[in-house]
Structure 1
Amino acid sequence: MADTSSSPTAPPAAPDHDAEKERALKRVKRAATLTLLMCIALFLGARLLEPQAPGLVWLAAFAEAAAIGGIADWYAVVALFRRPLGLPIPHTAIIPANQTRIADNLGRFIEANFLAPAPVRARLGSVDFAAHVADWLSDRKRADGLARFMTRMVPQTLDALEDSGLPRFLAKRARERIETVEVAPLAAGLLSAFVADRRHQKLFDELITALGRFLNDEAALAALRDKIRAELPTLARYFRADAYLLHKIVAAAGTLLDEVRDDPDHKLRHEFDRFAADFVTQLATSPAYAAQAERLKRELLARPELRNLAADLWAGLRRFMLTDAGATDSATRRHLTRLLTDIGRQLARDEAIRADMNQGFVTMLAGFIETQKSGVSAFIADQVKRWDLAQLTRLVELNIGRDLQYIRFNGMIVGGLAGLLLHLGELFVFGN
């Protein structure tokens, strides 16, 4: 394939209204040319008729100077874009001849005046980026579209995490952190808060409920009766004393449990309070408890089931997320949509957060522009240098040529007035 990187390229495609610009330019050119021809005709006519009408000398002076001014300005305007009449006159076709210099100067001008830090920061600071983000996210349809995109990226994200070794690294770091944690003080702190909120009494209630179920379980009572029978003398077993004792024990225990359950200030509850408080104190201060807790921790961490727990958790999480991401009614997508919408609404209400975000946007974008502005300047210059000369000339002429044609009109008017003044001066100096 041929390398076209250095071949001329056309400027950006002209919009539809360029045709109207070209028609307007042609109209102004024709009008200026006709006006110039009219000035020449007036000059010639006035000179021919001057012997019969001496007053025409003023018209001739005006028309002569106007024609000279018009021709000079025609030459100046044409010389910007091409060689007048195709003649190789020096310092003509200025724009095509200086394409490289114009491109470099344009790039530097944009860099110095449009991409300078102060105006860039001022312009960026006038934009409420956070409000646009909030409005965008608050729209549920847009939030759902973003959530769908994020959900589609779940498989690639999981693969990237897997390939990076992040799950294994996190599991290893978590194990190392657990190994350094002293279990006894940590457990004592947790239990202390548990006891301070009297949540241990709810545990006590559960124990009472469990004992109540035990006393009503026929299999458990049968086993208890067998134990009682084994401890009784033969004569007592003959008179079925085991059934009597079991009945009394169950009845007394049931009554006691009912009393404890119904009385929040029962003595057994206070005993349980003291037991819990003493246990927390021992766990926090006893070296023996601390050593036992550390031993249990090491035994637990050494178990193969726990060693594989992190890998199993990651595998399970990965399977769930992949399955859910591919589902028509994805829970992940629903939650993401709701989360993004809530973020947008919260952001719209919180002016302080929006101000912080806008400042962050300004700092980030201004820094990016500052580091890239020389590249932008070079890019603009390179693009202009690569433009086709004919197309470049046409583009410039279409956009400013109509105004330049009015210079020709002004030149004829100013020239004509100057001609009148010069003729008046001639009369004052030389007379007649």
Structure 2
Amino acid sequence: MAKLTATAGHDNRTLEDQAKIAALRRVKFMAAAALVCCVALFAIARILEKTYPVMGVVAAFAEAATIGGLADWYAVVALFRRPLGLPIPHTAIIPANQTRIADNLGHFIEVNFLAPGPVREKLRQADFSAQVADWLADEKRAAGLSRFVERLMPRMLTAIEQSGLRNFIGEHVRAELEKLPAAPLAAELLSTFTHDRGHQKLFDEIVRALSGLLSDEKTLVAMRDKIHEELPSIFNMFRADAYLLNKITASAASLLKDVNEDPDHPLREEFDRFVQGFIEELKTSEDYARRAEKLKHDLLMRPEMRGIIDLMWNSLRAFIEEGGKGRNTAIQAHLTGMFVAIGQHLARDPKVRADMNAGFVVALSGFVESQKSGVSAFIADQVKRWDLTQLTWLIEINIGKDLQYIRFNGMIVGGIAGVALYGFEKVFLS
């Protein structure tokens, strides 16, 4: 393409072009010299034929070689220009058929090079996943990609906000949450929590909290006042409230101490049965299910939930924007590590690479199939825009040298045919 835009002037020719032109001129000169020699040989042989009859064979060879050389000279020249400038039909074939050549070239490439079968076969030979893995596993490249992604993320968030996608996502998430059955989900969460006796840890915290209350002065005063109010006045005269409070707190403290020290205490077993029973009720009870659904619906519809979502979104946006300005390297470091890990994992997993390559083949072959007509048209349009003189010059310097050897072949084949015809004439027609 670069050569086609240049003029045919000497100054714009490359060293390679000049070498090709010199070689073409040498072959042209040799072909012309050979043709002149054939003409001279024919004339000499005709003159000497009467004296030396064998020269008739030489004359026949030279005559036919001259005719063959002239015919092939005409054929070669007619490809590029009009022989001797004469307006002979069907000459200057390449310049006269530029449009047809361009269309046929584009169609040929579309049919033979961009057909689905050859394209897929060629794409299967390439290991795209290995190149991706090598590229990602390089820490410098992964860091560059992470910086690019980090700078791009604020724009993505802005696009999401401006397109209304943020509200759409929020509504979609809320609708999906509405579909989730709350009671069975809560039961599953509690089952997971109780699987490693996490509920007993919660029970231990409750026991410690109760023990703390029994040693709190304010709590004891409140309990004594309550007992004082409930007892008849006669009992208060003997300070029965203090006695009962001491008995109650002592008994409760002893019980809580036993529970805290004994992992198999009956109270713990009772708590186990209570939790398991509650989980089963959550799974099967319609009443619990209705209550859980109402609680979930009320929670999702509260305006505070939208505020929490907005706060989370704004915090995420601020965090990402800080990273995009280079003030927060946590995202970049995390992304870099993630990309490197992906590249390393991809390099170690042949199945993933095979699946990835298959995806590349399908995607790229589909793209080529959808765009091949455009490629054909593009090639045809480019060829049509080429300057005729420059196009002819370019083709001639690249294949003209080989075409000149047709003239040599024409002289040789013509000469042999001339000798054969001369012999046939002498043997069968004399």
Task: Flag whether TM exceeds 0.5 (same fold).
Answer: yes
Contact kept, 8 Å, 2:127 with 2:357, in 1: the verdict is yes
1:387 offset after TM fit, Å? 1.2
Taking only aligned residues, the RMSD between alpha carbons, in angstroms, comes to 3.0
Counterpart amino acid of residue 267 in structure 2: L
SS at match of 1:92: coil
Change (3 A) 1:309 1:51: same
Is 1:270 the counterpart of 2:265? The answer is no
Deviations 1:49-75 (A, max 9, x none): 445555444333322222222121111
Is 1:226 the counterpart of 2:225? The answer is no
Counterpart amino acid of residue 143 in structure 2: D
Counterpart amino acid of residue 11 in structure 1: L
Task: Note the 1:152-171 alignment, pairs <5 A.
Answer: 152-171=151-170
Q: 2:4 aligns with which of 5, 8, 11?
A: 11
Aligned to 1:6: none
Change (3 A) 1:341 1:228: closer
Aligned to 2:10: none
Q: Give the Cα separation in 1 of the matches to 2:283 and 2:35.
A: 108
SS at match of 2:4: coil
1:172 offset after TM fit, Å? 1.8
Q: Would you say how many aligned residue pairs link Structure 1 and Structure 2?
A: 416
Aligned to 1:206: 205
SS at match of 1:264: coil
SS at match of 1:227: helix
Task: Note the 1:30-429 alignment, pairs <5 A.
Answer: 30-50=29-49, 53-214=52-213, 221-227=216-222, 229-230=224-225, 231=227, 256-327=255-326, 330-429=329-428
Change (3 A) 1:289 1:43: closer
SS at match of 2:126: coil
Listed as ranges, the gaps of 5+ residues in structure 1 are: 1-8
Q: Give the Cα separation in 1 of the matches to 2:20 and 2:208.
A: 94
1:235 offset after TM fit, Å? 6.2
> Bigger CA drift: 55-64 or 376-385?
55-64
> Bigger CA drift: 325-334 or 62-71?
325-334
Deviations 1:201-238 (A, max 9, x none): 1211222343455566xxxx22134235534577667x
1:129 offset after TM fit, Å? 2.5
Change (3 A) 1:420 1:289: closer
Counterpart amino acid of residue 373 in structure 2: S
Q: Give the Cα separation in 2 of the matches to 1:307 and 1:45.
A: 110
Aligned to 2:9: none
Q: Give the Cα separation in 2 of the matches to 1:12 and 1:207.
A: 88
Identity over aligned residues, as a percent? Answer: 56
1:82 offset after TM fit, Å? 0.5
Contact kept, 8 Å, 2:183 with 2:292, in 1: the verdict is yes
TM-score, L = length of structure 1: 0.85
Q: Give the Cα separation in 2 of the matches to 1:64 and 1:182.
A: 103
> Bigger CA drift: 280-289 or 91-100?
280-289
Q: Give the Cα separation in 1 of the matches to 2:377 and 2:143.
A: 41
Change (3 A) 1:84 1:332: same
Listed as ranges, the gaps of 5+ residues in structure 2 are: 7-12, 229-234
